[in-house]
Amino acid sequence: MVNGKVIGGRQGIGGEWGHNFLDESGGLCYCGKVGCVETIISGPSLERYYKSISGEALKLKEITMRYREGNDNFAIETMERLFHYFGKAISVVINIIDPDAIVIGGCVGKY
């Protein structure tokens, strides 16, 4: 939001940052690019990351609960990855548009 208004843009996707480059570690994205925000900090990508380091498939809600309990090092590593890369990604948006507010949606925003 800028000046109290949502920035929609011409195509209605203003503020959509999921397919901007973040880091190669995210791998190939379904959009055809490599390392998109979507491939690193979306709910499904965090679930894939957790499974890749733990061998266990969990939903983000469970990973978050385990992180909060502090007894699952894989959950801690997964959430610390989210915090690190989310900070890097959102700082770019903030520096470009200097918004009044940032709305976080999707499954990551729920937990």
Residue 68, CA distances (Å) to 56, 62, 72, 76, 111 in order: 18, 10, 9, 8, 11
Q: Measuring CA to CA, which residue among 31, 8, 9, 18 is closest to residue 86? A: 18
Burial level of 8, CB count in 10 A (0-12/13-18/19+)?
exposed
> For the segment 61-77, what is each residue's pLDDT rounded down to a tens digit?
999 999 999 999 999 99
> For the segment 17-36, what is each residue's pLDDT rounded down to a tens digit?
888 899 999 999 998 999 99
What global pTM score does this model have?
0.83
Full set of structural domains in the chain with CATH: 24-110 (3.30.420.40)
